[in-house]
Amino acid sequence: MPESWSSKNKPPQRAELPLTPGYVYDPVFLEHDTGDHPENARRLEAIITGLDAKFIRQQLKSMPARPATLDELTAIHQAEYVKRIEAFCQNGGGSWDADTVMSKGSYKAALYAAGGCIAAVEAVVKKVIPSAYALVRPPGHHATSNNAMGFCLFNNVAIAASYALKKFKMERVLIIDFDVHHGNGTQEAFAHNPYVLYVSTHQYPLFPGTGHLNEVGQSSGAGTAINIPLPAGCGDNEYKQVFDEIIVPAAQRFKPELILVSAGYDGHWADDLSNMRLTLDGYYYLTRIIQQLAAELCGGRTVFCLEGGYNLQVLSCAVNATFNLWLGEKLLDDPLGQPPYKSSPRGVIELIAEVKKRHGLY
Ligand SMILES: [Zn+2]
């Protein structure tokens, strides 16, 4: 029988993916006791309370967290550094540096945060769930191979990406980092690695000081770091332009097998740790773009890893909106609305043009 006839009469391929998105959460994350620090256990409590208030959690698949193994951690961190963190916490913790605080329970929480992100990746790649949000703490994207900094102990997203490369022999993992700070640790982890494309939007200059547009990766990783260092005062319009003009074409060119997201909500206008002007509607737009990219490029496979975000209302509403989007409900609850005053940051159009030119995105 002619080829064309037989192929025409095959039953239409049905989507194999189940519709229920997943999440990773474990009360062990609350044992990272930082007291009155902005990165505290109340952040996750607010997220979970917010999900339950809207009956969202019961619609999701709960994926158990597990501790990352030493092998998994040392894909990114030096073994000696892991031991130092363990010993520091065993001795009761304290201030590691001016920003980063640990308690006795922090080591265990950090092991589970990294392992929780791995569990989310594993479930998504094995198609147990189409997408997942790892609601973890401590956050990770500032943690370097041999140091904790910026509230981060182990680099959860980098450890999860490395796991995807090794365990599933992936060759193209995209990390989108929309936390308002540059993920210096993640960039460092994959600076020489052509299999991970790291794309970051961040306020610049701001902590940790890295993320200049000239930082593009090194040696065989050259071109696989795309930094979009935005001036203070950027809001929804500027972020939309950046996503539409840089991140979408860069992702389409890279053709990822998996998209990981360093999701931080500290660029919201009501967050005290930055001077950006994003709204919840703006975050919703970015999340939708990422969802569309994942659907177009990698069968929807997306794992969000929680990074920063210190306004509890913003955190709760943004995470609710992400799950609602994944559940197909398109609901956005935005009690905070627009920033109280307008701002017009300068040089964003020129910056976008420069980044596009630097990375050959036309
Ligand atoms: Zn941040």
Q: What is the CA(341)–ligand 1 centre distance, in A?
A: 23
Q: What is the CA(61)–ligand 1 centre distance, in A?
A: 27
Q: What per-residue confidence (pLDDT) applies to 330?
A: 80
For 65-86, how does the pLDDT look when each residue is reduced to its tens digit (9 = 90+)? 999 999 999 999 999 999 999 9
Question: Is 137:128 a contact under the CB 8 Å cutoff?
Answer: no
Q: What per-residue confidence (pLDDT) applies to 331?
A: 82
- Average pLDDT of span 288-310: 98
Q: What is the CA(202)–ligand 1 centre distance, in A?
A: 9
Q: Which is catalytic among the residues 32, 141, 142, 359?
A: 142
Residue 6: pLDDT band with limits 50, 70, 90: very low
Q: Is 142 one of the annotated active-site residues of the chain?
A: yes
Query: Which of helix, strand or coil describes residue 331?
Result: coil
Q: What is the CA(317)–ligand 1 centre distance, in A?
A: 17
Q: What per-residue confidence (pLDDT) applies to 343?
A: 87
Q: What is the CA(115)–ligand 1 centre distance, in A?
A: 21
Q: What per-residue confidence (pLDDT) applies to 14?
A: 45
- Greater confidence (343 vs 184) lies with 184
Residue 124: pLDDT band with limits 50, 70, 90: very high
Provide, rounded to the nearest whole percent, the portion of the chain with pLDDT above 90: 92
DSSP structural state of residue 137: S
Does 12 score more than 80 pLDDT? no
- Average pLDDT of span 120-143: 98
Residue 58: pLDDT band with limits 50, 70, 90: very high
CB under 8 A, 24+ apart: contacts of 339-348? 339/235, 339/269, 339/277, 339/279, 340/269, 343/233, 343/235, 343/277, 344/233, 345/230, 345/231, 345/232, 345/233, 345/234, 345/238, 346/231, 347/231, 348/230, 348/231, 348/234, 348/238, 348/241, 348/242
Asked which of 108-122, 173-187, 326-340 is least confident by mean pLDDT, the reply is 326-340
Asked which of 81-90, 168-177, 292-301, 336-345 is least confident by mean pLDDT, the reply is 336-345
The whole-angstrom separation of Cα 65 and Cα 270 is: 31
- Average pLDDT of span 44-58: 97
The whole-angstrom separation of Cα 93 and Cα 235 is: 38
User: What's the token pair of residue 179?
Assistant: 């936390």
Q: What is the CA(272)–ligand 1 centre distance, in A?
A: 11
User: What's the token pair of residue 129?
Assistant: 């769930």
